[in-house]
Chain A
């Protein structure tokens, strides 16, 4: 499959949050401010790529040859949990600035469906290592795009007059619905279909 198509597809046409519904918890939790959205996106990009590599390698070089395919769910999630711990330690030691900027978002990534989702989708789509990497990068960028766009919208919503029952989550969801509708328009962009 065309590398550009994999990248653009994951980024826009099949955007992981707005079209696939994967990664919603951080989407709604973190997008209250632009700053945290950027931070979370950076962390996700980093962890997603690492997780894609490690899980792909473990799956094809260890689980498949030994016939232990049924352990993949457990292995993948433990890999992600371990990676996040590891990244946290490394950042704390060598990149304090980034570490404090990311703050609580780093541990939160462990339960981010998007990361685990990508590891599974790489297997389902039978991607090779390069394609998996492209898919992970495209997905992380798509995640970033969705979250940052949405944060910008939400910051504006803060100052808008909204009926009390709809303040907060409800209007956020309706807003997401409209952004998702816009993304639906990306169908067949560059000839990529849903």
Chain B
């Protein structure tokens, strides 16, 4: 394959096949952990670790794994990576771990991961699978960053913990954004915008 089309695997994941806004998968943790920019990126990092790990391993074994039991084997592989990041976060990033809570182990049922393993890594080489994973992760991180930032700025007036709004704004925070309704509302608006921008192009 020529070089330009290889990078397509990476680039697609960011906009054209953005997992959250285009493919509409992996929504649960997106809404729950995007309460602040830093936590959102933390979650994206955890997902990246698992996605890259599982895509690469699945791709490595794709020629020898028996088709009929491939899903259970993929699940075991994914849960291994999830458990690894679970304990690593617990040990070295306890504050982030407390925020992400039950959503760390829930990464194992994150549709993005099993979806990419089955739809892509199972049928492509290791390097391509790596690119695909990185691309989807980047796309995911982008959405998380946007949502986390908007929610943090509205609800706390800060960005990554640094005050970016005038004091009068921060004294009357828009708590709506931190609570569930705000998250649903925000992603609805974002998806509406994305639909508008991609109308006719996709």
Contacts and interface: CB of A to CB of B under 8 A. Distances in A.
A73 B108 contact: yes
A172 B185 CA distance: 9
Contact of A174 (B25, B189, B195): B189
Contact of A176 (B28, B114, B179, B184): B184
Contact of B191 (A78, A110, A120, A170): A170
Interface stretch (A13-21, A33-41, A90-98): A13-21
Interface stretch (B72-80, B131-139, B163-171): B72-80
What range describes how many residues of B lie at the interface? 35 or more
A81 B75 CA distance: 9
A183 B187 CA distance: 18
Contacts of A184: 179-181
Contacts of A169: 24, 188, 191, 195
Contacts of B188: 166, 169-177
Nearest to B198: A165
A73 B102 CA distance: 11
Contacts of B191: 169-170, 173
A129 to B, nearest CB: 20
Contacts of A23: 28
Contacts of B108: 73, 77, 116
Nearest to B75: A77
Given A77-B75, A111-B109, A170-B192, A177 B181 contact: yes
Interface string B55-94: 0000000000000000110011001101100110000000
Given A20-B32, A176-B184, A78 B72 contact: yes
Chain A interface helix/strand/loop/mixed:
helix
Interface in A140-194: 164-178, 180-181, 183-184
Interface string A3-24: 0000000000000001111111
A173 B75 CA distance: 29
A18 B185 CA distance: 12
Given A73-B86, A124-B102, A164-B199, A111 B111 contact: yes
Contact of A181 (B181, B192, B199): B181
Contact of B106 (A113, A166, A171, A183): A113
Contact of A173 (B114, B184, B196): B184
B192 A166 contact: yes
A22 B82 CA distance: 17
B119 to A, nearest CB: 14
Interface string B21-43: 00011011101100000000000
B145 interface: no
Contacts of A19: 180
B106 A28 contact: no
B121 interface: no
Contacts of A20: 32, 180
B114 A21 contact: no
Interface in B102-154: 102, 105-106, 108-109, 111, 114
A73 to B, nearest CB: 5
23 contacts: A21-B180, A28-B24, A28-B27, A71-B83, A72-B105, A73-B83, A74-B79, A77-B109, A78-B79, A113-B106, A120-B105, A120-B106, A164-B195, A164-B199, A165-B192, A165-B195, A166-B192, A166-B195, A169-B195, A173-B184, A174-B185, A177-B181, A184-B180
Given A113-B109, A173-B191, 10 more contacts: A20-B180, A21-B28, A21-B32, A73-B105, A74-B83, A81-B72, A117-B106, A174-B185, A180-B184, A184-B179
